[in-house]
Amino acid sequence: MPTTTWQKSSYCGEGESCLHVAATEARIHLTESSDPTESILTATPATFLSLLHALKKDPTLG
């Protein structure tokens, strides 16, 4: 069974609650470091890309 490899956001400072990302060809997984096992968002790469575009277009959404 493959394990999920999480990467911490490069924008995260020491001791802060941070976004962690794991990716496969079929899914993008996001979680917050303060609750890594409970708050997981899963999306297809296309849906995640749409979210990123929306956030970049309107920074007040994030």
Residue 1's pLDDT is 47
- Partner residues linked to 26 by β-bridges: none
* Among candidate residues 56, 60, 22, the one with its CA nearest the CA of residue 41: 22
The residue extents of the domains of the chain are 18-61
Q: What is the DSSP letter of 37?
A: T
Encode pLDDT of 4-58 as tens digits.
Answer: 788 887 878 776 678 888 898 899 998 887 776 676 889 999 999 998 898 888 8
Distance between alpha carbon 59 and the CA centroid of its chain, in Å?
Answer: 16
